[in-house]
Structures are given as structure tokens and as C-alpha cells.
Structure 1
Amino acid sequence: MTTNKKTPSALLSLLPIIVLVLMLVATVRTYGSDSLSGASQVTLLAVSAICVLIGTCFLRIPWKDFENAITHNISSVTSAILILLLIGALSGTWMVSGVVPSLIYYGIQIIHPDIFLASTCIISAIVSVMTGSSWTTIATIGIALMGIGRAQGFDDGWIAGAIISGAYFGDKISPLSDTTVLASGAVNVPLFKHIRYMLITTIPSLSIALLIFAIAGFVQDTNSTHEISLFTATIKDRFCITPWLLLVPVLTGFMIAKRLPPVVTLFLSTLLAVIFALIFQQQVLHDIAGDNLFKGAMQSIYGSTSIPTDNPVLTSLVATRGMAGMMGTIWLIICAMCFGGAMEAGGMVRGITRLFVRMIKGRTSLVAST
């Protein structure tokens, strides 16, 4: 990518990393949970500028090399950006169409609070293995499980931990996962042999997590049966709950099983949810955008929706941000790609790699360096 083959020293290569860490620490201390709203992205761009400055002033690398590397990096994640946008649209339309409320409604009646956390982890793992995508699992069944957990009185942290633990486990061992296939292909190892060796570390990790979630499920204070009944009654009063809505996740699973491309699957699932919203949730669409059903459907895809209910927890849960809710993450990815491209074009990645290669003396040091 770069026309200058000179590799910078280890110290010069590590300088942008050190500056990045210091600036991120300052950013998080200053902005707290709001640091991802723009401050972290600006930090990445600022450190990218430092990389370019070092490369142009000290290594005589032309700006065109940096521009090409950054452009190449950003273009390599366009598929991921499209998937993120469609996941935002999917989460919004599945909520407004009543798919997620229906999953919550039926799930509350099936899953007992004592085994909820462990069941959530297992369900997320199974769905993630079937789909090959932790993102899709979290954005679909994960939202429904979050609603069930909130209704039963569990803390958001416990619910999210169970969902993410299962989703990432399933993603790692799924033969449909792009990262699993890529990792085995990159080192020319048979896919299922790669998965078999990953089970050596992932099975114990999941077992420990399940044990913790099982114990937590029995010791956590949960809502009374009366409170849970009120929650389900509020869902049924606000949304049209019908088994027909479960066709959306069933057909989505069918498309995944048929190995349709993720972008196509997410798009068709979003479109199907919009159609079901127009059929079953006309009152909800009226509440979102007045008397214009088309506007309500479109807003559920791209923007914020607020569906007032008699339960504050449910009102917070069913509020969505659609594609707009993903823009912060996409912004962060683009800025990270700028930083990575600048590091690559400046030869700093080679400098850091060369530093660790010198430390490799055997299998243990190879694993540690990696």
C-alpha cells in the first residue's frame, strides 16, 4: 500500500497507540457513558492525524499512500455497515409490528423466573449457532429476552450478560459464522477441526457462565406473579398479540437455513415486519405518526418511535431508534478504519509486529505475542 519500505522504530510505531490510550482515558473520564456519542470518534481521528504527521514529516511517506490505505480500510467494512443499518431497521420494525411484544408475551408465560437467566444464555447460544451471527441474535431474540427479563424484575446487566454470553459462544462455534470460516481458511485448517479445538476453551467458559446465571436466577429478587400479570396485560392491551406474528421470526430462520446472504435476509425480514405492522398494528402506527400509516411504517425503519403504555418499563423497552440508532456505531467504525489505515500506511503496524516477532521463541511465546 505504501511506496516507502522503511519501517519506523518500535518507539515511533507505539507512539500513536500510547497517545490513543491516554486520550481515550481522558475522554471516558470527561464524558463517561456519553464518550461514544462523538468524543471517542474525534479522538480516533486526532490520533490518525498524528500517524499521518509522523509518516509525512519523518518517514517521507506521501499523503496519497495514507489516503489509499484509509479508503481501502473503509471500503472493506461496507458490508458490515449495511448489516448494522439493517439490524437497526429490523429491531425497529420487529418492535412496532408486534413481533417482539408477542415473543415477550408468550415467553413470560413459558420461562420461569428461577431458570430465566440460564435459559436466556442457552437460547441465545442456540439461535446464534443457527444464524452464525451474534449481532442478529442480540437484535432479534435478544430484545425479546430483555423484555421478558425486565417484566420478571431482573437487572438489565444480568439479562444483557446472559444474552451476550450465549450469542458470542454460538457465533464462535457456528459453521455459518463468517469469522469462524475466515479464521480456519486463513490458516488452512479444516473448519470443523477449528471448531473442535475452540470447544476446548469455549465449553468451560460457557459452563462457568451457566453456573453463575443458574445461581443468580435463584437468589435474585424477582417481581411477584401479580406484577408479571399486569405487565403481560399491558402488552396485550397495547399491541395486537397473535401467533401469526411469529411467522416473521420463523420465516427469518428459514431464510438463514437456506444460506441467503445476511443483507438479503435482514432486508426481507424487515419488509415482512413492515407488512405485518400495516396489517396488525394500525393503531400503533397511528400513535407514532398521526393518521399516516405509511409515515409510521417508514419511521419505524429509520427513526425514533415512542409508544406510550401504562407501564414505564414497557414504554422504555418498546421505544426504538431504527437505523438512526446505529449511526454512532457506524461513525465509530469509520473512524477506527481511518486510524487503522493510517497506522498501516505509515508502517507502524509493521514496526509493532516486528517488535513482537522478535519475542517469539516457541509455542508459548507465539500464543502470548498473538
Structure 2
Amino acid sequence: MKNNKISKLTCMMLMVSMSAIAFCIIKSIPLFYGFFVGLVFSVILLRMDGFSFYCLMDMIWKGIKDCSTVYVIVLLMGGMISIWIASGVVPTMIYYGFEYMGHINYVLACFFITAVISFVMGTAFGTISTIGVALLGIGKGLLIPTPLLLGTIISGAFIADKLSPISALVNLTIQITEVKYKAFFRHTLVTLIPAVVLSGIIYYILGRNYAAEIDLVTLNTYQRNISQTFFLLPILLAFPIVMVVLAIFGIKIIPNMTFGLVSGMGICYFLQQMQIKEILGVLLLGYKSNTGINQLDSVLRGGGMIPMLEVILIIIGAIALNSVLEGTKTIHPIVDCMVSKIKTKGRLITTTGILSIVLTTVTCDQTVGILLPGKFLKSKYKELGIRKTTLARSIADTGTTIAPLIPWNVNAIIITAITGVGATEYGIYTVLCYLSPMITMLYGYIGLKENRNEKQENIGSC
């Protein structure tokens, strides 16, 4: 861009890109077409504005290459889900879950279980694709609507991206804002605790309604059909537990998921007596159960690496478009325009949240929603006497947390690929993800008391 004003070029790029994505969502067309249209249109306009074609392609290639681990994780997720069902790991969880979950508020339990595990694992994706899938399967068997249950699980899982000391996004946030993790953790609890309490109350009320409708006869029928279809052993419950323990001890998500996938394939062969050709078919194409009960079969199906290829194309499209917007500084004038005239603390915090949400929405990823506000607003926070931990917390509570609610965001795309449920369905139940932005902005106006002379908080982590 030639100046700091929001040019017609910027507006056209964003408008065409968002319109193409929205059209794909409305018409149920694969999203990667929308990203491709937005990318091609943006490249053409930027070439007309003076950027070299080589430079633009280099931005795109670097962005795609830097996110190569994401593609591996998506493929592993697809394979692990189908293998864990076929091996009997997920059916065993569901079978024994029916024994113990029929007499509790299952929705509330899911929220707190995923919140604790996600904080330990440090990844929302890892939580949703492992324990989340199992909890979702049990909940379906308990006749709880899938969008409600998935929204509950996502609410708990995204505490990882907000607060976990081993989360990549948390560490990016504290590094870019130059604060220590201990100070960030303490400061974030101010808004997180009210959000968790309010979410818990809402989930208790929702869960109470469904707990009364559980049909124990139906659950017994489900258990009988599961035990007739799969060879079940309690020891199979150890595999997801081991994966959580490995995450606690710092094992990264790819080796951890590979362990889960390979172990599951071994169980398929030795315990479920599946042939190697059959196992490979499940790994690549997904699993379809045949228990004799349609509702149960709808739970015990899905996954596969090949169905995840479309998801990878969508992620590549989102990353490519994001790389062009960030590399050419197309969205920087938006930041300047939003913060240049701010004079009050409350308005600055509110603007930080809105800016982080806008950037996460426009760029289809949380990273820019962290980087740009973190870089450009530090001086403004210092000018108004607000400590940097408030900046870090405001970003974590807004742009980071809102991601799964945006249908074209990479987070929502992967969640939909894993579960088959879209953001427009589960979004209303993802309570924590929209309560957090509301609470932090409200706190900025009515609860902010900052001391300009407090000691500086330097870069650090846990």
C-alpha cells in the first residue's frame, strides 16, 4: 500500500474475498473455491498496484510452507478418528460411558472435562479430536443434540488457546506483547473466571433439561449392540489416557497423534481381527459401523484421510490469502484507522477486541489477530497508562477465542471436518467463546484501574 489510508484497493480485495467465501457457504460449495477466487482477485489488483508477481508468489509459498505441520495434523486427525472407531477404542468409551454418564448432568461434565484437559494438553484441536470425539459419541448415545454438545466441548477446549502455558497461541501472545506468562495468567483469570462461571450455569441449565430424558432401556440396547459388533476390553480406555499423559509431559501433538494412530491400527489387527487391506481402507476412506441401529451407526462412523484432503485445500487457500494480505500490509491501514483517535482506556480495550476479532475474521486465522494488535497497540497502551498484560488478555479473550464461531476460519473448518457439524449449528452453544469478548470489553469500561508506574513486564513464558 502506498499510504496509511484505507484505499479502494483494500476495500475491493476484502469485499470480493468475503463475498466469494460467503457465496460458497450459502450455496454449500467447497470453501477452497471462495478462497481461490479471493486470492486470484487480490493478486491481480496488487499486481496493478505495483507488486511484482514473483514477490506475491513468494509470500504465498512461504505462508503455505510454514504451516506444513497443520496439514499433517489434519491427516492424522482423519486417520485416527476412523481407526479409533474401528479398533473399538471409541465404542469402548461409549459403552462404559453409558454405565456412568446416565445419572449426571452430562453437558456440564463435558464442559469442565474438556476445560481441564485442554489446559493440560495446550491445544484445542488435540482436545477436540481425542477426548472430544469420545465425549461427543457418548453424548449422542444419551440423546443429547450434537450441536449443543459440540458447542460445549469447543467452549472447554478453547481454554487451551486462551491460557495454557504450552499453547503456541498463548506463547505467541505473551511474546508479541512482551509480558511474562505468570503475569498474563493472573491477569487473564480476572475475565476468565466470570466467563467460566456463567458458562457453567448455562450448561447446567441446558444439561438438566436433557438428563431427565435419558432412556435407560435404549442405552442398554445400545450397549448390547456395541458389544456384539466390537470386541471390547476396559484396557482400551488406557489409550486416550496415555495420549493425555504424553501431552502433559510435553510430547508434541504430531508424535502423540501418530502413537494413537499406530496403536489403533495394531488393535484393529490383533483384537478386532481386521485384515490389513480392511484397516488401510478404514484409514483412507473412513469407517462405517453396522450395529443394526441407525442412530448408533451415525455415531460410529466418519474420519479417513482422503475426506480430509478437501479440508487441507481450504486451509491452504486461507493461509495463501492471509499471507498476501499480511505480506503486502493491506490490512495495516485498518489498524491505523481504528486506533488513531482513541483517547480513553475503555475505548482502547474495546477497540483492541474489535480489531482482533476483525483481523481473525478477515484473515481466516488467529495469528494476524494476535500479531497486529500486539505490535501496533503497545505504544498506545503505554501512552494511556495501561499495562501490557491487559493488551495480552484483551487479545486472548477476543480474536483468539472467537475463531471457532467463524464458519470460514481454519479452526471452524477443521472442527466441521472432524464432527460433520458446521459453525452455524454449534455456534450458539459455544457460550464461552462469545461471553469472553463481551466480558473483557465490559471490564474495560467499568473495572479498569491501571497503575502506570507498575514495573515493566518482560518477555517470558512459564
Structure-2-length-normalised TM-score: 0.72
Cα distance in 2 for residues equivalent to 1:327 and 1:361: 48
Match of 1:44 among 5, 24, 35: 35
Cα distance between partner residues in 1 of 2:126 and 2:311:
15
Q: What is the CA-CA distance between 1:241 and the residue it aligns to? A: 1.1
Amino acid aligned to 2:32: Q
The structural deviation recorded for 1:113 is 4.8
Tell me the SS of whatever aligns to 1:341. Answer: helix
Aligned-pair distance for 1:94? 1.3
For residue 368 of structure 1, the aligned residue among 350, 357, 377 is 350
Tell me which residue corresponds to 1:317: 299
Q: Secondary structure at the match of 1:175?
A: coil
Is residue 108–residue 200 contact of structure 2 (8 Å, CA) maintained in 1? yes
Q: Larger RCO: Structure 1 or Structure 2 (Cα < 8 Å, ≥ 6 residues apart)?
A: 1
Aligned length: 350
Tell me how far 1:305 sits from its aligned partner.
2.0
Corresponding residue for residue 366 of structure 2: none
More moved, 268-277 vs 247-256: 247-256
- Equivalent in 292, 295, 302 of residue 277 of structure 2: 295
Residue type at the aligned position of 1:333: I
Q: What does residue 240 of structure 1 align with?
A: 231
**Alignment CA distance shift 1:265-1:314 (3 Å):** same
RMSD between superposed Cα atoms in Å:
1.9
Query: Which residue, out of 109, 133, 156, partners 2:146?
Result: 156
CA distance in 2, matches of 1:8, 1:342: 17
Which residue number corresponds to residue 264 of structure 2? Answer: 273
SS where residue 105 of structure 2 aligns? helix
Aligned-partner residue type, residue 24 of structure 1: I
Unmatched 5+ stretches in structure 2 = 353-462
1:147 paired with 2:137, answer yes
Three-state SS of the structure 1 residue aligned to 2:187 is helix
Distance 1:90 1:183 in 2: 30
Amino acid of the residue matched to residue 185 of structure 1? Q
> Structure 2: how far apart are the matches of 1:107 and 1:83?
27
Among 280, 283, 290, the alignment partner of 1:308 is 290
Contact (CA 8 Å) 2:79, 2:261: kept in 1 or not? yes
Q: Deviation at 1:104?
A: 1.0
- In the other structure, the counterpart of 1:213 is 203
> Helix, strand or coil: the match of 1:259?
coil
Do the aligned residues in 1 keep the contact of 2:20 with 2:37 (CA within 8 Å)? no
- TM normalised by structure 1 equals 0.88
User: Which residue number corresponds to residue 132 of structure 1?
Assistant: 122
CA offset at residue 227 of structure 1? 0.7
Letter of the structure 2 residue corresponding to residue 19 of structure 1: V
Query: Could you tell me which residue of structure 2 aligns to residue 99 of structure 1?
Result: 89
User: 1:289 corresponds to which residue?
Assistant: none
Give a deviation string over 1:127-174, Cα, whole Å, max 9, x none.
Answer: 111211111111111121112111111111111121111111244222
Do the aligned partners of residues 42 and 185 (structure 1) sit closer, same or farther apart at CA in structure 2, a change above 3 Å counting? same
> For 1:345 and 1:82, how far apart are their aligned partners in 2?
25
1:328-343 correspondence runs (5 A): 328-343=310-325
- 2:2 paired with 1:20: no
- Deviation of residue 71 (structure 1)? 0.9
Shift of residue 27, structure 1, vs aligned partner: 3.1
Cα distance per residue 1:168-203 (max 9 Å; x no partner) = 124422212111122112222111221222222222
Of the three residues 155, 170, 185, the one matched with 1:180 is 170
| Aligned partner letter, 2:346 | T
Residues 214, 313 of structure 1: alpha-carbon distance in 2 compared, 3 angstrom cutoff:
same
Q: Which runs of 5+ in 1 are unaligned?
A: 286-292
One-letter amino acid of the structure 2 residue matched with residue 50 of structure 1? F
- Aligned position for 1:195: 185
Shift in Å, 1:9: 4.2
Cα distance in 2, alignment partners of residues 359 and 47 from structure 1: 31
Amino acid at match of 1:6: K
| Equivalent residues of 2:83, 2:287 under 8 A apart | no
In 1, are the aligned partners of 2:102 and 2:216 still within 8 Å (CA)? no
For residue 8 of structure 1, report the CA deviation from its aligned partner.
Answer: 7.0
Question: Which structure dedicates a bigger proportion of its chain to helix?
Answer: 1
Amino acid at match of 1:224: D
Sort the Cα spacing of 1:345 and 1:254 in 2 relative to 1 into closer, same or farther, 3 A.
Answer: closer
Quote the offset at 1:26 in angstroms.
Answer: 3.2
